[in-house]
Amino acid sequence: MVNQFPLKLVTFTCILVVAVIWMGGFTRITDSGLGCPDWPGCFGEMVMPTDAGRLAYLQERYPDIHVAAHKGWIEMIHRYIATFLGFLILIVAAIGVQRRSLPGYPTFLSVMLLGLVSLQGAFGMWTVTLKLLPKIVTAHLLGGLIIFSVLLFLRNRLQRFFDGDLAQRKMRPVVLVGVALLFIQIVLGGWVSSNYAGWACPGVWSCAPGAEIQYDFREGFDIFMAVGPNYEGGSLHLEARAAIQMVHRVAALILVLYWVWMLLQLARDSLVRRGQVIHFTGLLVVQVLFGFANVVYAVPDSLAFIHHVLAVLLLYSAWSIAFSTSSLVNEVVYDGIERK
């Protein structure tokens, strides 16, 4: 029997990276990003202090932040899980190098992951040391999504490797466009969150019914903002935050319309399983409903976190569709019928 330990390890790592992304979102949503203002420790220690006297001293030493034990613990738990993730990816890379002589083994992907997680660790550090600079926070989210995607791709390759399927496959461009749109939308959501723009538009169908807002897209999407200020709580004017929020909503509409059209096309050609269509569509509908709920209830932490969780699940579902609808590289099409 073939030793499938690498597949099991990568599967567990996929689950763990989801936990890291979710915990990162929870850290951001609860304003715990500066719960530990230094890195990699927390106020110079590897465990968040909880003694009342120590906390009072730290508050005097760090007057620009709110020192709270629970925020420090949220941030440190995120770091602990992320460190464990990095350790597992190091093992994945080592196994990849060890098995590099096996035909078809995805060694390159295994090693590339190690480079990605190292860069991600650097962005985690900069998120803290640059005081939640929005472009760094958003890049940190993007890095997590990329690592998750590469892990899913690696798991798919390993599954095929152990099944004896070494044929080259390509994913359909129409599905990859859908995945790209979903990536863009999640990153826009990160930009909304890192700039505290979730509450900027209290209206459901428009930004602010009965009021005229001059959207400031230039300031809202300025990636060259000053480095140095503490960005906790946001620093943009209302017009800039409203511009970010409305772009996020328009992008969501484009995403929904594209995926509905694409799934109908794939289902018509019997290229996607009914269960996958139901799974993705269900997640999409629930995500839209929670998007509306966040507007109506002014983005409470609980709803914002659920919105974040659903976004990651949608990305997983989208990649599952991309993998299952892929075709052999040497397949050709005659009159709409694929042949080998």
**Quick one: 167 exposed, middle or buried, by C-beta within 10 A (0-12, 13-18, 19+)?**
exposed
Residue that is written with structure tokens 């992951």 in the block:
113
- 75 carries an active-site annotation: yes
Residue 244 tokens, joined: 């970010």
215 Cβ neighbours under 8 A, 6+ residues apart = 207, 239, 242, 243, 246
Token pair of 152, please?
């899913």
Catalytic choice (45, 60, 75, 219): 75
Distance, CA of 190 to CA of 184 (rounded, Å): 10
* 8 A C-beta contact, residue 183 and residue 177: no
Q: How far apart are CA 35 and CA 62, in angstroms?
A: 11
Q: What is the dihedral of CA 266, 269, 272, 278, to 10 degrees?
A: 70
- What element of type H or E holds 333? strand 332-334
- R_g (Cα) of the chain, nearest Å: 22
Which residues participate in catalysis according to the annotation?
Answer: 75
